[in-house]
Every structure is written in C-alpha cells, then in structure tokens.
Structure 1
Amino acid sequence: MTKTNGVILQYFEWYLPNQPHLWKLLKQDAKHLADIGITAVWIPPAYKGAAGNQDVGYGVYDLYDLGEFPQKGSIETKYGTKEELLDAINALHMYDIDVYADIVFDHKMGADATEQILAVSVDPRDREEITSNEETIEAWTKFTFPGRNGKYSDYIWNWDDFDGIDYDQATKENRIFRFYGKDWDQQVDGEYQNYDYLMGADIDFQNPDVIQELNRWGSWFVDTTKIDGFRMDAVKHIHFGFYKNWLEKLRKDTGKELFSVGEYWSGDINKLIHYMQVDDYMMSLFDVPLHYHFYDASRSNGHYDMSKLLDGTLVSYDEFKAVTFVDNHDTQIGQSLESWVLDWFKPMAYAMILLRQQGYPCIFYGDYYGIPHNQISGLRDTLDILLYLRKNLAYGIQHDYFDDPHVVGFTRSGDAKHTGGLAVLLSDQMGGQKKMCIDTTYAHVCYRDCLHPEKDSVILDENGCGNFLVDSGSLSIYIPDTDGFFDKKPV
C-alpha cells in the first residue's frame, strides 16, 4: 500500500551533469525530502548505458552493471558508482522514503560485436509493410559484456534475442529491419499498425530464454538494491501481458509489494484502459491525458474550458491506478515528447495533483530544482507550500466546483487528525469569486489565501460556506487563519 497522501519525486531531469554524482546528491538530500513530505523517489536508470557515464540511462547496455565494471569508457554510470547508489537508497530508507527504480526492457544499445543476419526492411509508417527483399545485414546484436566477464550472469545476448534493428553496419544505412523468421509482437500499441519497434536492438518478448533472463535479473536487482518498486519505460512497445507475468513472479519470489507504474505514452484514455485490463491491473499508469490537458490549458491564452480539465483522464477513470504528473524528463524543452506546461499555469496544475483526493502525484525534479540548461529556475517555494498543505490539510471529503469555463475549484473538509480543510480556486482567464463549502464544522472560521496572504480573508457562514476570490490567471488556496503556516515557513 502506498502511504497516505504519498508523493513521488522524480529525482532527475534530462540535462543533469554527470558531476557531482546524482547518487551523492540524493543521499545528502534524503532528510530534506522527508521533511517536505516526499514519500517516494523515482530514480533514473541505474545501470550502464551505451554512452557510459554520459548516458541518461535509456540507451541500455548492461542491466547488471550498476556502476561497478569498466565498460563503455567508465566504471561509474552517469549518476555514480554502485556503492553510491546503494548508499543513497539506504539513506532514503532511513527516512522512510520508498525508492522506485526506472527499468528499460524494450531495447538494448551499444553491442560488443556485429552479426550477419537475414532481414527485411519495413515501412516506418506501416511496420507490417515489407519494403525490401530478404537481405543480409550486419547488425549490432552481440552483447558479451567483457568488462563484467560473466559476474552475476553469463547470459550472452545475440540476434535471436531480438526482433529487429534500425541500422546496417555494412551499408551504413538507417532503416527499420525485421529479422528473417521473426515477427513483431502483436499485442502492442497500434500506431504505425504495430509499434513494437522503438529504437536500438528490439527485444523479442516471445523468446523464452529472454523471459527467463529478465526474470533472473529482476530478482537479482531487487535483492541487490532493496528497491521498493519500479517505473516501467515504454510499456506500449512491449508485448502486453509481459509485465503482468514478470511482476507476478517477482512479487511472489521477493515477497514484496513492489509498487509499479508504467509509461504508456498516449493521450487516448481508451488505450490506457485497454492496457490495464489486459495486464489485470498489475501496475499503475502515468496519467498522460491529464498532462496534455495541463499543456493545452497553459497555451490556450485563456480559452481553455477549465470545467473539462479532468474529462477523459485516467485519474477520473481509476483514482487508485493513476499516477498524476505535470511534466517529466521526456516532456521538457528539447526532448522527444516535448509538451512543456508553461510556468504561469504550473502552480494550478500542481494544486490539481497534490491537493485533490484522487491519484498518486509525482513532482518533477526540473520543476522543483530548476533546469539550468533551459534557464528554468523551478518552483521550489510554491511546491514547498503545496507539499505542506498536502501533508497537513488536504484530507477528508472533497467537494468539486467545476461549473464554469474559467473559474473552477474544490474544497477538502479535513478529518479527525487533520482539521481545518482548505479551499482551492483556479482561473485561466478573468478572475472572480465562487461560493464553495468546506464543512459545517468550520462555521464562522476565518480563512486566508496562503499564496496571497495580503488579500481579504473569508469568514465561513453557518453552513461552512464562503465566497472565495481568485485573481485572473491565478491560483488561490484558502486555509484557516489559525494554521501554523502563517506563523512560520512551511518547512
């Protein structure tokens, strides 16, 4: 079970330097993260990538090399050594923070040798359409991991462990090749008729040797690192049902819950629902449709219908399986899925995921600490306030007021241990006021806007209701005037 009012922090962004080592920074930051209300940290891929200590982690080379072996030009990964990784995880556990590891099973890169393989090329817009005769290509598909020399696993990957690749070393041509005698996995996303192939050497999830090796690695990885769960990369490109079996076996073998969230990148809620159904709801999914609502609202110049902000989102379909987020390493400026939510709207987006009852929110490192590469300073002060509110006040019954295209809001009533509740108002255009009710328990209590304490306060009537105000294109959050927030900083 995830912790009550739990919050994930994605502890990396794409342009982080490889010095100082991220694992060292994370260890030093553990107490601070616990203090502000972070209950879980999503760490980047912890194993050696094809670009060594320059690899963000998605160009997977050796799953067993956690920064321990001289491979790809370095012993350490981009984020540090194996010892530093384990120290960081231990530090987080000392402060009761769970650790979710990013795993990438779709493909491998940086092979140690080429192989001669019979293949056909396919149309990149229709992967089922063959566009060449059978031909022999020279493909980078032999992974021997000489630096590791068989430690932990003596499995050697060869062409039969893959379905295809996108480069012929002999001709220096970039095409999508499907290996002769192989078929793309059929239970995958239907974009391009079949979206099995994404990049690199595409792993064959119909090969029983591959499945056995990935099962073996999973048990080794959990036992070695003591992680608490996973973030699954690119699940829409991997045979639907694979992770159901993989997680089922791993949870049984380790006796751990292993919370897991998959990245199925699609704004179509029906695709996310279908995937969860096929996998028997074995994992949560990121709420990509909600992210795109935030993105669209932030760029609509005040013409977005805020009353529909939650329509067609995963969190509205299944509040317990939705991991809500605003941005991540792929959506940040300059990346493959760039869809950056503009800064003026970000406080509203974070209020929607952090202060509401539904969903398991994930904060992005770049939004908290900033992204120097893009001259983005981050929203640490605002996020600290929202985290304080989630930790102390965002409990109890929720009342929604999504009844206007430009001014919407909701309230939380609090509970026996967290009294006072709160009222949240968002506006993407002209500001205004809205009558909202918190709870009759708080009749005649004075509430102030914790983001704009200089504004007039609101005294609730005998029914626990009040007329709350919000400025144009802004966020207001009203909490009891007696809350300790107004006497000191949130953290």
Structure 2
Amino acid sequence: MKKLIMQGSKILILLFLLGCTDNENLEVPVSDKTATDPFEANSNSDNSSQRAAGPGGGVMMQAFYWDVPAGGTWYDVLESKIADWDAAGISAIWLPPVSKAMNGPYSMGYDPTDYFDFGDFNQNGSIETRFGSKTELLSLINTAHNYDIEVYADIVLNHNSGGDLESNPFTGTQTYTDFNPASGKFYRSASDFHPNNYVYNDEGIFGGFPDLSHSVPYVQDWLWNRSDGVGKYYKNVMGFDGWRFDYVKGFGGWVVREWVNNVGGFSVGEYWDGNAQKLQDWVNSTNRTSSAFDFACYYKMEEAFDGNDLTKLNGDMLWKRDPEKAVTFVANHDTDEIYNKLHAYAYILTHEGYPTIFYSDYEEWLDKNKLNNLIWIHRNLSAGSTNILYADNDEYVARRNGGPGIVVYLNTSNQWQERWVETNWSSQVIKDYTGNSNWEPTTQSGKWVKIQSPPNSYTIWSTK
C-alpha cells in the first residue's frame, strides 16, 4: 500500500492541503493496538464474547430501561426481538437483575432478596418477578443462544434487601439482616454483613441497605466457590455467558477477580466515574479479569456533542488507555444525558471499545435504520488502532488503521463541510458507507483525499 513520491512534490501537496483548512490538521495517535480485532484474550478472563464475526467485534444491547412494564411480560417481549437483533448484528444482550427482590413484582431487581428465585417461588408479594417467570427467562436465554447471541446477567453483590429484623450482636441494634429465602439457598444473618467478626466495613454502602460482606468465607462459598452457588448456578444451569456487576465502587476489585477466576465468563463493572485513570485503576484491581463501562468517554461525548465543542473528544477516555477493557455507551437505565445521540453512536461504533446500544434508543427514540447501518460498519469495517486527524468546535475526523479500516467525519455545524485528510489507502476509490454523501473520490498516491459531511450529520469512509 505504501508508495514513495518525490520530496518536492510532497511539499507542494502538503502546502496545498494546508491551504484548504482553517486550522492545523492534527494526527494524534490514541491507541497503539494494530490487531484487526480490538479485543484480545488474556490469561485471566474470557473475552470470547467480544469476538463476533467481522473485524470490528461484537455489539451489546442493554435489553431494558428503568421501569419497563410490570406484569411479568418483559422476557417475552425480549424473546420476540432476538431474531431482528441478530439480523442487525447484536452479539450479546444484557438483562436486568433476574432474581426476586424486596419489592417483588414491582422491583427492577436492584434490591435483591433471594438470588435463586427467578420467578418460581411465592415470596415478596408475587411468584413471578417484574420481568416474568423462570420458565420464560430460560426460554429467552435458549432463544438467544440459538442465534449465537450471548446473555449477560446484571449481578448485584454490594447489598441485599428484604430481610427480617434480628438482634445484631455487632451493632447492638435490630437490623434487617435475617434472610430466609424461599429457594432454601444462601441463608444470611448479621454475621454475613458489615460489621462482623472479619471486618468492620468495605469500600462503600448503598442506600442504607444491609452491606454484604465478601470477606466472610460462607459468603464467598455461596457467591463463587460452591458448584451450586450463585455464580456457577447462573452460568452452568441458567446458561448466562457473562456478568454486569452493579455498583463496584462498593467493594474491592478482588471480589470481581475471584468471581471471574472461579466462575468464568465475560465481565464488565459499573464503576461510575468520569476519570479515565480511576477506571483503569479499577480494571487493574480486578487483575484485568473485567472490563469497565467507559464513563470518561460518556461525559466527554456529552461535552462535545451537546456543548458544540468537538475538541473535547481529544480528552482522556478508558478506550484510549485500554481499548480491550472499555465498554462504551451513549445512555443506560441510570443516566441518559446526551441529547445529540446519533453523533454519539457514530462515535462509539467507529472507535475502539465494546459498544453498547440502549434499548430505548434502538426500539423507540432513534432511527433504527441508521443504528443498524452503524452496527454493520462497526462489525465489518472498524478495526485497528485510532488516529485523531482533526478536531475543532464542530468538526472531528478520525482514522481506524486496521483492515479494511475507516475514516469517520463528524459534523455538528449547520452547513456542509469538506476537509482533506490522510488515509491508509493509496490510489483507491473510497465511498461513504452511511449514504450521507454520494461522493466516491480516489485517494492520491500519497494517500490524501478530500471528504465531506452534511450539516449536523456524519460520514464514514472506506474502500469500495
């Protein structure tokens, strides 16, 4: 692909190109990874879930939003969408917490009572969970697997809720720490929560709920050691392929490490912090057994796309530091602050990291055809390391260097924009795979080419 040109000609070309821009072109390398698959296996975790067909890797669907309809129908709704999601290129779905919680049929699952009641025991006011029955859950998982779609469980380990009052010898008070689950598995008492004989507290508590103590050997056994414990039952009996760990700021990264090392499966933690260094520190605290949601990327996108300053995309993000451990997203059930969402999806689906689609964005709020197009581009074209080529208030251009690779051009201005950029392609015809531009320019022998983007839109270029 490389072709030498005379130095004098090269100088003239560069002078011409610089004359076509209002600002100096940038070429900022943000990743040194050169593999066509941005997700590489390591000795401590199972990243096979991210190696879907195509050089760009997989795409996750968050298959719920806050306060989905109650009544036990949600699993059936999701099962009816699996075929279409598979056709669109979704490779994994993330479910809400599947076990019975304190508020029974009304709970979103983040107040867990019985980890082994999937909607088949009469407790906390219902038999089914808000989302359905165990039978319906197993049917959903089986259907997803028939389409080679993996299923991730939302695991809440920090706290429990719905226990009975008991005298707590560690606090000298009455506490709601007496758990007698209808499933008959994983009974808990005051000695299994903080404070106890082993440790007074851990990294954090949430909402005043009893804070589960992972330092207690009995708790460790039931969570990840026992063959019939929570992790191994969810994986080997229920069929879950991976885990989204809730509120990991509340306990040490070693907890996730031990879970993954003993249970296996893909893992991503919700470490809610916009500081990329802290996100990477948490990933490292798990001995790199887990990915993390890239909140740093999320907040930079909000500043860039809603604040009309695309130079914010030059900022620090987890995917730039550690792309194989970054799970990128535009919205989720807890936070939905980005207004200019299509630009944000065009960003995460063309850059490194494991992108997540939010159910409501896909099924209700945005143009599904445009999202499907971006998913296809991610899986089939978006590979390799990344270079930021240009950024100002309303223009951003970046290049992916794998095969075949892309150049993405984001434009938030109210007019058409054009820009000369350096590609990885010499003397090749390229086109915009979004259909937003009908140009089909030929790159020069020195790999430079002029591309364009419509007002408040984006284009994504690759070889024909």
TM-score norm. by structure 1 comes to: 0.77
Report the Cα distance in structure 1 between the residues aligned to 2:297 and 2:390, rounded to whole angstroms. 15
Report the Cα distance in structure 1 between the residues aligned to 2:382 and 2:275, rounded to whole angstroms. 29
Residues 419-473 of structure 1, C-alpha deviation per residue, up to 9 Å, x if partnerless? 5x54311133465322123333552x252462424x5554433444321122444
Which residue of 2 is the match for residue 353 of structure 1?
348
Report the Cα distance in structure 1 between the residues aligned to 2:280 and 2:442, rounded to whole angstroms. 43
Q: CA shift at 1:352, angstroms?
A: 1.6
Amino acid at match of 1:237: G
Which residue of 1 is the match for residue 371 of structure 2?
383
Report the Cα distance in structure 2 between the residues aligned to 1:398 and 1:313, rounded to whole angstroms. 13
Amino acid at match of 1:468: I
- Do 1:54 and 1:78's aligned partners in 2 also have CA atoms closer than 8 Å? yes
Q: CA shift at 1:22, angstroms?
A: 1.9
Report the Cα distance in structure 2 between the residues aligned to 1:297 and 1:39, rounded to whole angstroms. 29
Structure having the larger proportion of residues in strand: 1
- Do 2:101 and 2:109's aligned partners in 1 also have CA atoms closer than 8 Å? yes
Report the Cα distance in structure 2 between the residues aligned to 1:19 and 1:465, rounded to whole angstroms. 58
Which residue of 1 is the match for residue 32 of structure 2?
none
1:213 lines up with 2:222 in the alignment: yes
Q: 1:77 aligns with which of 118, 124, 129?
A: 129
Amino acid at match of 1:409: V
Residues 383-406 of structure 1, C-alpha deviation per residue, up to 9 Å, x if partnerless? 111012223333456543134343
1:158 lines up with 2:165 in the alignment: no
Which residue of 2 is the match for residue 96 of structure 1?
148
Which residue of 1 is the match for residue 67 of structure 2?
15
Alignment partner of 2:324: what SS?
coil
Alignment partner of 2:253: what SS?
coil
- Which structure ranks higher in relative contact order (CA pairs < 8 Å, sequence separation ≥ 6)? 2
Report the Cα distance in structure 2 between the residues aligned to 1:199 and 1:225, rounded to whole angstroms. 31
- Do 2:151 and 2:242's aligned partners in 1 also have CA atoms closer than 8 Å? yes
1:475 lines up with 2:458 in the alignment: yes
Q: 1:413 to 1:293 in 2, by over 3 A?
A: closer
Q: 2:200 aligns with which of 180, 183, 206?
A: 183
- Do 1:3 and 1:39's aligned partners in 2 also have CA atoms closer than 8 Å? no
Report the Cα distance in structure 2 between the residues aligned to 1:426 and 1:98, rounded to whole angstroms. 31
Which residue of 2 is the match for residue 125 of structure 1?
none
Report the Cα distance in structure 1 between the residues aligned to 2:316 and 2:299, rounded to whole angstroms. 11
Which residue of 1 is the match for residue 27 of structure 2?
none
Which residue of 2 is the match for residue 166 of structure 1?
none
Q: 1:142 aligns with which of 178, 183, 196?
A: 178
Residues 34-57 of structure 1, C-alpha deviation per residue, up to 9 Å, x if partnerless? 111111111111111111121111
Which residue of 2 is the match for residue 107 of structure 1?
159
Q: CA shift at 1:329, angstroms?
A: 0.5
Q: CA shift at 1:268, angstroms?
A: 1.5
Q: 1:428 to 1:272 in 2, by over 3 A?
A: same
Q: 1:33 to 1:138 in 2, by over 3 A?
A: same
Report the RMSD for the aligned CA atoms in angstroms: 2.4
Alignment partner of 2:61: what SS?
strand
Amino acid at match of 1:465: W
Q: CA shift at 1:239, angstroms?
A: 2.7
- Do 1:411 and 1:436's aligned partners in 2 also have CA atoms closer than 8 Å? no
Report the Cα distance in structure 2 between the residues aligned to 1:181 and 1:387, rounded to whole angstroms. 48
Amino acid at match of 2:165: T
Report the Cα distance in structure 1 between the residues aligned to 2:150 and 2:63, rounded to whole angstroms. 12
Q: CA shift at 1:298, angstroms?
A: 3.2
Q: 2:107 aligns with which of 39, 51, 55?
A: 55
1:248 lines up with 2:261 in the alignment: yes
- Do 1:109 and 1:200's aligned partners in 2 also have CA atoms closer than 8 Å? yes
Report the Cα distance in structure 1 between the residues aligned to 2:427 and 2:238, rounded to whole angstroms. 47
Amino acid at match of 2:422: C
Report the Cα distance in structure 2 between the residues aligned to 1:34 and 1:55, rounded to whole angstroms. 29
Which residue of 2 is the match for residue 404 of structure 1?
392
Report the Cα distance in structure 1 between the residues aligned to 2:196 and 2:401, rounded to whole angstroms. 59
Report the Cα distance in structure 1 between the residues aligned to 2:283 and 2:109, rounded to whole angstroms. 26
Which residue of 1 is the match for residue 448 of structure 2?
465
- Do 2:436 and 2:454's aligned partners in 1 also have CA atoms closer than 8 Å? no
Q: 1:20 to 1:67 in 2, by over 3 A?
A: closer
The runs of 5 or more residues in structure 1 that have no matched partner are 121-135, 164-177, 189-194, 252-257, 333-339, 371-376, 483-491
1:438 lines up with 2:423 in the alignment: yes
Report the Cα distance in structure 2 between the residues aligned to 1:66 and 1:270, rounded to whole angstroms. 37
TM-score norm. by structure 2 comes to: 0.81
Residues 173-201 of structure 1, C-alpha deviation per residue, up to 9 Å, x if partnerless? xxxxx68996211xx3xxxxxx3444411
1:6 lines up with 2:58 in the alignment: yes
1:452 lines up with 2:436 in the alignment: yes
Report the Cα distance in structure 1 between the residues aligned to 2:314 and 2:117, rounded to whole angstroms. 42
More deviation in 226-235 or 198-207?
A: 198-207
Q: 1:351 to 1:162 in 2, by over 3 A?
A: same
Q: CA shift at 1:162, angstroms?
A: 1.2
Q: CA shift at 1:348, angstroms?
A: 1.6
1:268 lines up with 2:251 in the alignment: no
Amino acid at match of 1:439: N
Which residue of 2 is the match for residue 228 of structure 1?
241
Q: 1:116 aligns with which of 164, 167, 172?
A: 167
Which residue of 2 is the match for residue 485 of structure 1?
none
Q: CA shift at 1:328, angstroms?
A: 0.6
